[in-house]
Amino acid sequence: MKEKKAYTNNDKTVLLEISEDNCSAYLTIKDPKYFVDEKDISELLMSTGIKYGIEKATEYNVKNEIKKEVNKPFLIAMGIKSKAQSRISYLFEPKKCFNPDEPVDVFEMEKFISIHEDEPLANLLVGSERLPGMDIFGNEIAGGEEVIINNIDEFIGENVYYSEKDSQILASKPGYPYIDTSDKINVKSDFVINNDIKGKNLNLTGNVVVEGVINNSKIEINGNLTAKSNISECMNSGIYATGDVEIEFAEDAKIVSSGTLRFNKSVRSCIIRADNGIIGKDNSSITGGLIQSGTDIDLYSVGSPFATLTEIDITTSPYLKEQIKLLQNELLYARNNSKENEEKIHQLSITLTELESRYENELDECLNRKIEDISITVRDKIFPVTSFRIFKFSRKISEETGRVTFSIKNDTFETNKIKLSAEVTDEVETYDDELNEVDKI
């Protein structure tokens, strides 16, 4: 094995180090008593025989915002590794893909192949013909084991990226893959629905913005959902998103997110569940219903002057629990329906078992961790009758108060800034009749 080579100028103010494979050189400017002239650096490079890769190193440093610093090595020359043309092996069937050149109703997108974020779309395989590399002395390097694919950009379109580690093209967003007229892989990920959704079912993969109202409909989004108008009468059907959700108004609706849920105005008589927090904008309000999060809750106003029962809970994996309930109902229907085949029932049973196992694992993790870094904050008013629960700890508010943070300290339910009513309960009346002992953990 070749040893790493090091050279200095006469004043020992500049150190030049060349890599073992002669493919890179680093320069270190020592802390000098006198100014180091660029001429000193050029003469040192010439004396070592470096004649290739200086401009390439400069481009690399500019691109990565690397600046020369005293006593710190920086790249001064870099060679190129052997390159090869690649061929592509798709991991999906292009003929079954969405075609952006043909008009398609968003309610019909289910029939096309969909993809999750970070899911592989294709393998890039190194071809037999290789272009030789070159070291910093201008010597040609024959192709070795480490080869750079030369034509990656030929395959990279919108919402995809290349993983050099796996030699794969993957989706950067959830959506529908397709190959455009330039043979590049793309993912259709962003959808805007300008019309109202009333009495319909929508199952869509991607990030969705709904401009119109959502009424009496079931919405399933594999991605983020933004609803810019009113959501109503969706309690039985429900709205589900695997990503973040942002809404304006909601009334008599079930809205479930595995990400963060934000609302800008009012939520009335709803069941809201989100794994990664629930946040209400200033001057927003929650009245009635059940609000559940897997982590911090930050609200503005809670309850109403008419003593409407409102429940605010932090619990374990509310999104996953909701998925388990849905699957249990689907399996029950399939078993009671003679038209359903045994294979579907078998697959539903396997999926349900997997989800239940995941929930048990998350429940065990929750029981073994400290919960003192989780809180519920209300920035304005709290009206009676409102109950707050953080896992097994609960408190009911029977007098108007506000501007308070609830948290767990030393295994005790505590409040911050304002003293609450002395009425503290271990159990509270529940809005959701499905809430059982597991939900309290």
Quote the CA–CA distance of 85 and 152 in Å, as a whole number. Answer: 9
pLDDT at 51 exceeding the cut of 90: no
DSSP secondary structure letters along 106-117 = GGGGGGS--B-T
Q: Per-residue pLDDT tens for 310-353?
A: 999 999 999 999 999 999 988 988 888 867 678 888 899 999 99
CB proximity list for 306: less than 8 A, separation 6 or greater: none
187-197 mean pLDDT: 95
pLDDT at 423 exceeding the cut of 50: no
At the second CATH level, the architecture of 258-319+370-440 is 3 Solenoid (2.160)
28-55 mean pLDDT: 79
Q: What is the pLDDT of residue 44?
A: 84
Host H or E run for residue 348: helix 342-367
Q: What is the pLDDT of residue 310?
A: 96
pLDDT at 247 exceeding the cut of 80: yes
49-69 mean pLDDT: 85
Averaged pLDDT score across all residues of the chain? 85
What would the two tokens of residue 154 be? Answer: 């030929």
Phi–psi pair at 366, nearest 5 degrees = -65, -40
Residue 33's pLDDT band, with cuts at 50, 70 and 90, is low
Residue with tokens 């509310």: 318
What residue segments make up the domains of the chain, in order of their start?
Answer: 5-78, 83-187, 258-319+370-440
CA torsion, ordered 36, 40, 41, 43, to nearest 10 deg: 180
pLDDT at 160 exceeding the cut of 90: yes
Q: What is the pLDDT of residue 428?
A: 38
Note the residue count of the chain: 441
Give every strand in the sheet of 160-163, ordered side by side.
Answer: 148-149, 83-90, 120-131, 168-171, 160-163
> pTM for the complete prediction?
0.71
Q: Lowest-confidence range among 154-158, 362-366, 417-421?
A: 417-421
Q: Lowest-confidence range among 243-252, 286-295, 368-377?
A: 368-377
Q: Lowest-confidence range among 98-102, 277-281, 298-302?
A: 98-102
Quote the CA–CA distance of 293 and 221 in Å, as a whole number. Answer: 19
Q: What is the pLDDT of residue 121?
A: 95
Residue 133's pLDDT band, with cuts at 50, 70 and 90, is confident
Q: Lowest-confidence range among 54-68, 214-228, 230-244, 391-405?
A: 54-68
pLDDT at 207 exceeding the cut of 90: yes
Residue 1's pLDDT band, with cuts at 50, 70 and 90, is very low
42-77 burial, b if ≥16 CB within 10 A, otherwise e?
eebbeebebebbbebbeeebeeeeeeeeeeeeebbb
Residue with tokens 């809005």: 431
